[in-house]
Amino acid sequence: MSSANRELKAAPFYQEHLPTKVIHHGDGRMKMEIDFTDLHLNAAGVVHGGVLAALLDVASAGGGSATIEDAERAYGVTVSLTINFVRGAVAGPAQIEGVVIGGGRKTKFVEGKIHDSSGNLVATSTSTVKVIDLGKS
């Protein structure tokens, strides 16, 4: 299942401060876009590492949940997240992606990446995600 061009349904923090558009959510992959603003920058003028970490967390959990046939009824919980910051990101558009690279039925291993509008790699992550099928409660 693929859902394109929809707003990420998330907690108020994300809706207000990290407004992200989902480009793809299905087949073990979640891809999103965001437009970084001055609100996201640190004192050095680049996007704060905590903002990048939050986005990699969402993309990784989303990628994990996208392994359920009906991805809209699944929820991914990040169990562990390791981040490598590659370069600073400035204000402007960026893409975030989480892709499942292995795991079992409920536990997924996910790689995450953030690219800036020029295609430069900004950060990478590896994570372990537990997938909860909300349709089986």
Segment (H or E) for 65: helix 49-65
For the stretch 36-55, pLDDT in tens is 999 999 999 999 999 999 99
pLDDT of residue 3: 44
The CATH H-level superfamily of 6-133 is Hotdog Thioesterase (3.10.129.10)
- Closest by alpha carbon to 95, among 42, 36, 45, 54? 36
Does 8 score more than 50 pLDDT?
Answer: no
Question: Are 96 and 34 within 8 A, CB to CB?
Answer: yes
Q: Residue 73: what pLDDT? A: 77
Is pTM, for the whole model, over 0.95?
A: no
Q: Higher pLDDT residue, 137 or 13? A: 13
Burial 110-125 (b: 16+ CB within 10 A, else e): bbbbbbbeeeeebbeb
